Amino acid sequence: MTDLIQRPRRLRKSPALRAMFEETTLSLNDLVLPIFVEEEIDDYKAVEAMPGVMRIPEKHLAREIERIANAGIRSVMTFGISHHTDETGSDAWREDGLVARMSRICKQTVPEMIVMSDTCFCEYTSHGHCGVLCEHGVDNDATLENLGKQA
Protein backbone atom coordinates (compact mmCIF):
# COMPACT_ATOMS: atom_id res chain seq x y z
CA MET A 1 0.00 0.00 0.00
CA THR A 2 2.98 2.33 0.38
CA ASP A 3 3.47 2.50 -3.39
CA LEU A 4 0.08 4.13 -3.92
CA ILE A 5 0.29 7.70 -5.19
CA GLN A 6 -2.80 8.70 -3.25
CA ARG A 7 -4.04 7.10 -0.11
CA PRO A 8 -7.84 6.49 -0.13
CA ARG A 9 -8.94 8.51 2.88
CA ARG A 10 -11.99 10.09 1.32
CA LEU A 11 -14.28 7.92 3.47
CA ARG A 12 -12.53 9.04 6.66
CA LYS A 13 -12.49 12.82 6.14
CA SER A 14 -15.25 13.76 8.56
CA PRO A 15 -16.99 12.28 11.60
CA ALA A 16 -20.21 11.97 9.55
CA LEU A 17 -18.49 9.96 6.80
CA ARG A 18 -16.67 7.80 9.32
CA ALA A 19 -19.97 7.06 11.09
CA MET A 20 -21.65 6.22 7.79
CA PHE A 21 -18.98 3.74 6.70
CA GLU A 22 -17.91 2.28 10.02
CA GLU A 23 -18.26 -1.39 10.78
CA THR A 24 -21.66 -2.66 11.83
CA THR A 25 -22.42 -2.24 15.50
CA LEU A 26 -25.22 -3.93 17.38
CA SER A 27 -26.93 -3.05 20.63
CA LEU A 28 -29.93 -4.35 22.56
CA ASN A 29 -32.05 -1.94 20.50
CA ASP A 30 -31.25 -3.96 17.37
CA LEU A 31 -32.19 -7.37 18.76
CA VAL A 32 -35.50 -9.22 18.83
CA LEU A 33 -35.91 -11.94 21.45
CA PRO A 34 -37.90 -14.96 20.26
CA ILE A 35 -40.22 -16.29 22.95
CA PHE A 36 -42.19 -19.51 22.84
CA VAL A 37 -45.53 -19.48 24.65
CA GLU A 38 -47.64 -22.57 25.25
CA GLU A 39 -51.22 -22.43 26.41
CA GLU A 40 -52.74 -24.73 29.02
CA ILE A 41 -49.48 -25.76 30.71
CA ASP A 42 -48.41 -25.00 34.26
CA ASP A 43 -44.64 -25.41 34.12
CA TYR A 44 -41.89 -24.20 31.83
CA LYS A 45 -40.85 -26.82 29.26
CA ALA A 46 -37.51 -27.11 27.50
CA VAL A 47 -37.42 -26.65 23.74
CA GLU A 48 -35.37 -29.74 23.00
CA ALA A 49 -33.97 -28.45 19.70
CA MET A 50 -32.71 -25.25 21.37
CA PRO A 51 -30.73 -25.87 24.57
CA GLY A 52 -31.42 -23.23 27.21
CA VAL A 53 -34.67 -22.08 25.59
CA MET A 54 -37.93 -22.72 27.42
CA ARG A 55 -41.60 -22.75 26.47
CA ILE A 56 -43.28 -20.18 28.68
CA PRO A 57 -46.67 -21.08 30.15
CA GLU A 58 -49.17 -18.50 28.93
CA LYS A 59 -50.12 -17.73 32.53
CA HIS A 60 -46.49 -16.60 33.19
CA LEU A 61 -46.12 -14.49 30.03
CA ALA A 62 -46.72 -11.12 31.76
CA ARG A 63 -44.03 -11.87 34.35
CA GLU A 64 -41.59 -12.91 31.62
CA ILE A 65 -42.27 -9.77 29.55
CA GLU A 66 -41.54 -7.62 32.61
CA ARG A 67 -38.29 -9.53 33.19
CA ILE A 68 -37.31 -9.16 29.53
CA ALA A 69 -38.04 -5.41 29.56
CA ASN A 70 -36.08 -4.97 32.80
CA ALA A 71 -33.10 -6.61 31.08
CA GLY A 72 -33.21 -3.83 28.46
CA ILE A 73 -34.72 -5.84 25.62
CA ARG A 74 -37.26 -3.76 23.70
CA SER A 75 -38.53 -6.21 21.06
CA VAL A 76 -39.91 -9.75 21.14
CA MET A 77 -41.29 -12.16 18.57
CA THR A 78 -43.94 -14.51 19.90
CA PHE A 79 -44.23 -18.11 18.78
CA GLY A 80 -47.34 -19.83 20.05
CA ILE A 81 -47.92 -23.49 20.83
CA SER A 82 -51.68 -23.95 20.64
CA HIS A 83 -53.72 -26.82 22.00
CA HIS A 84 -56.69 -25.80 19.82
CA THR A 85 -55.78 -27.06 16.36
CA ASP A 86 -57.87 -27.72 13.27
CA GLU A 87 -57.32 -28.29 9.53
CA THR A 88 -56.88 -24.58 8.73
CA GLY A 89 -55.18 -23.28 11.89
CA SER A 90 -58.08 -20.95 12.68
CA ASP A 91 -56.93 -20.36 16.27
CA ALA A 92 -54.13 -18.26 14.76
CA TRP A 93 -56.54 -15.52 13.64
CA ARG A 94 -59.33 -15.73 16.19
CA GLU A 95 -59.73 -12.66 18.38
CA ASP A 96 -59.64 -14.91 21.45
CA GLY A 97 -56.96 -17.21 20.00
CA LEU A 98 -53.42 -17.62 21.28
CA VAL A 99 -51.78 -15.16 18.84
CA ALA A 100 -54.11 -12.34 19.88
CA ARG A 101 -53.85 -13.20 23.58
CA MET A 102 -50.04 -13.20 23.50
CA SER A 103 -49.96 -9.78 21.83
CA ARG A 104 -52.48 -8.34 24.29
CA ILE A 105 -50.64 -9.68 27.33
CA CYS A 106 -47.31 -8.31 26.11
CA LYS A 107 -48.66 -4.84 25.25
CA GLN A 108 -50.77 -4.53 28.41
CA THR A 109 -47.79 -5.51 30.56
CA VAL A 110 -45.13 -3.38 28.84
CA PRO A 111 -46.86 -0.96 26.42
CA GLU A 112 -43.58 0.26 24.91
CA MET A 113 -42.45 -3.30 24.04
CA ILE A 114 -42.34 -3.97 20.29
CA VAL A 115 -44.24 -7.20 19.77
CA MET A 116 -44.01 -9.20 16.54
CA SER A 117 -46.05 -12.33 15.94
CA ASP A 118 -44.86 -15.33 13.97
CA THR A 119 -47.13 -15.84 10.96
CA CYS A 120 -47.05 -19.59 10.55
CA PHE A 121 -49.67 -22.27 10.96
CA CYS A 122 -47.71 -25.39 11.87
CA GLU A 123 -48.51 -25.09 15.60
CA TYR A 124 -52.16 -24.29 14.88
CA THR A 125 -53.04 -27.00 12.33
CA SER A 126 -54.01 -30.55 13.20
CA HIS A 127 -51.65 -31.87 10.50
CA GLY A 128 -48.65 -29.71 11.49
CA HIS A 129 -48.10 -28.16 8.05
CA CYS A 130 -47.71 -24.42 7.51
CA GLY A 131 -50.57 -24.18 5.07
CA VAL A 132 -54.03 -25.36 4.12
CA LEU A 133 -53.84 -28.84 2.62
CA CYS A 134 -55.81 -30.06 -0.38
CA GLU A 135 -55.69 -33.22 -2.50
CA HIS A 136 -52.67 -31.89 -4.47
CA GLY A 137 -50.62 -30.67 -1.49
CA VAL A 138 -50.76 -27.13 -0.15
CA ASP A 139 -53.52 -24.81 -1.33
CA ASN A 140 -51.50 -21.61 -1.68
CA ASP A 141 -54.49 -19.34 -2.30
CA ALA A 142 -56.33 -20.54 0.80
CA THR A 143 -53.11 -20.32 2.81
CA LEU A 144 -52.50 -16.71 1.70
CA GLU A 145 -56.06 -15.80 2.65
CA ASN A 146 -55.54 -17.30 6.10
CA LEU A 147 -52.17 -15.56 6.52
CA GLY A 148 -53.96 -12.29 5.83
CA LYS A 149 -56.48 -13.08 8.56
CA GLN A 150 -53.70 -13.95 10.99
CA ALA A 151 -51.71 -10.79 10.27
Residue-wise pLDDT tens digits, 80-136: 999 999 999 999 999 999 999 999 999 999 999 999 999 998 999 999 999 999 999
pLDDT band at 4 (very low <50, low <70, confident <90, very high): low
Residue 151 burial (C-beta neighbours within 10 Å; 0-12, 13-18, 19+): exposed
∠ at Cα 107 (91, 104), nearest 5°?
25
| pTM for this predicted structure | 0.82
- Whether the pLDDT of residue 49 is over 60: the answer is yes
Q: Domains plus CATH for the chain?
A: 27-150 (3.20.20.70)
For residue 82, which of 26, 33, 120 has the smallest C-alpha distance?
120
133 bridge partner residues: 138
Q: What's the pLDDT at 118?
A: 95
Q: What's the pLDDT at 85?
A: 96
- Whether the pLDDT of residue 22 is over 90: the answer is no
Strand duo 33-38 + 75-81: pairing: parallel
Give percent above pLDDT 70 in the chain: 95
